[in-house]
Structure 1
Amino acid sequence: MSTIALALHEPAAGRVRDIWAHLGAQFGLAGIRRVPFPHLTLLGFEGLDHDRAKEVLERFSQETAPFALEAHGLGLFHGSSPILYAPVVKTPTLEALHRSLAAAFQALGAQTYPLYEPDRWIPHITLAQGAPARGTYGEAVDLLLGMDLHIPFEVRNLTLFQWIGPRYEPADRFPLMGPLCDVQNNPGA
């Protein structure tokens, strides 16, 4: 599987890595190592070769200006490999980018994963994944509730990640170079 993500930059990336380190030290939560880069996943897909994916992402990067986003709070995806996450505010710009990318990849025959379908997608930054080695998720949640989980960040590129077992690695980055907008005074524009 390949993924398209928005990589976080400093200082937001450092804040997320600090949370990962703290949860790892306290509870042995290390599942985040599958994608060891602070990010927001837009799409997971198969069935489209790397060159075709690059063409689409190059076009989107030319048309999309950098923009601001922010994560607030705490969420939990339950299941066999639970995920603690910081929900990202779904702005009109983020939602339009996501819908357009999904449509473009599907039009080329890519099989996109259901969790990334526009009506099901929950934008988030993963804080921990998998069962804790020590303690419980309840204890991890208690710890996170005491932290400031407001994480503002600027989106500056689209990143194509490839599965290079046992983790995803960035294969290509596409700087956002569309029409300029004032991300400082117009977050989410």
Structure 2
Amino acid sequence: MVAAIELYLDVDATRRIRTLWRSLEAEGVPTLAGLLGNRHRPHVSLAAAHRLDPHAVEAALTGLEAGPALPLSMDFAGQFVGRVLWLGVTPTEELLAHHRAVHERLAAAGIEVWEHYRPGRWVPHCTVSMRVPNPQMAHAVRRCLEVLPLRATITGAAVADHANDIDHRLDGPRPRDR
């Protein structure tokens, strides 16, 4: 199980990434679109752990603002060990400062997160697929490069744990903790 603090993208960037997901799915490459009953939406994760208490995270981050409409630029594709394919977010001072502030508050609240999401280790990215078949990786990377560069604006945030039906908004109305 994975829980994460997810930053959500503007409508245009979300549409473009969902189009990429559909294209890859049609070509036999599983993406986040089909994972866990279509619960995922395009996002950049600031922190992840096996479990995150959404109310504790919300309390720790109360009053922290990312600034008005934090801009992102996705300019490259990459992969992590384990067949994970992603769009790489170019790290900016503003993004890294926000990431650092989030982690300082989480640490002060005693909220543990995975080491590879901490400042100095984090690779900002938007996951496309978590299990690209090896023979299709080169094709999938080329397909990702077709949508780049992609400019996006952060429009919201949530603590999400899709396997446990948690989608807890951190930036406005909370329609549900599913």
Common fold, TM-score beyond 0.5? yes
Counterpart position of 1:137: 137
- Determine the C-alpha separation between the residues in 2 that align with 1:46 and 1:28: 26
Assess if the C-alpha contact under 8 Å between 2:3 and 2:52 holds in 1: no
Query: How many residues align structurally?
Result: 168
Cα gap change, 1:131/1:84 in structure 2, threshold over 3 Å: closer, same or farther? closer
TM-score normalised by structure 1 residue count = 0.78
- Determine the C-alpha separation between the residues in 1 that align with 2:156 and 2:32: 25
**AA at the equivalent of 2:25:** G
Cα gap change, 1:78/1:170 in structure 2, threshold over 3 Å: closer, same or farther? same
Superposed CA deviations along residues 145-177 of structure 1, whole A, max 9, x for unmatched, are 4x1311111112222213434xx65211315xx
- Percent identity of paired positions between Structure 1 and Structure 2: 24
1:151-162 correspondence runs (5 A):
151-162=150-161
Assess if the C-alpha contact under 8 Å between 2:156 and 2:170 holds in 1: yes
Cα gap change, 1:48/1:144 in structure 2, threshold over 3 Å: closer, same or farther? closer
Cα gap change, 1:143/1:156 in structure 2, threshold over 3 Å: closer, same or farther? closer
Where does the alignment leave 5 or more consecutive residues of structure 2 unmatched?
A: 173-178
Larger mean Cα displacement after TM superposition, 23-32 or 119-128: 23-32
Assess if the C-alpha contact under 8 Å between 2:3 and 2:51 holds in 1: no
Assess if the C-alpha contact under 8 Å between 1:89 and 1:123 holds in 2: yes
Counterpart position of 1:183: none
- Determine the C-alpha separation between the residues in 1 that align with 2:51 and 2:158: 18
- What displacement does 1:124 show? 0.6
* SS of aligned partner of 1:41: strand
User: CA RMSD, aligned part only?
Assistant: 2.3
- Determine the C-alpha separation between the residues in 2 that align with 1:47 and 1:27: 31
Cα gap change, 1:84/1:48 in structure 2, threshold over 3 Å: closer, same or farther? closer
**AA at the equivalent of 2:57:** A
TM-score normalised by structure 2 residue count = 0.82
- Determine the C-alpha separation between the residues in 1 that align with 2:57 and 2:25: 34
Assess if the C-alpha contact under 8 Å between 1:84 and 1:128 holds in 2: yes
**AA at the equivalent of 1:74:** A
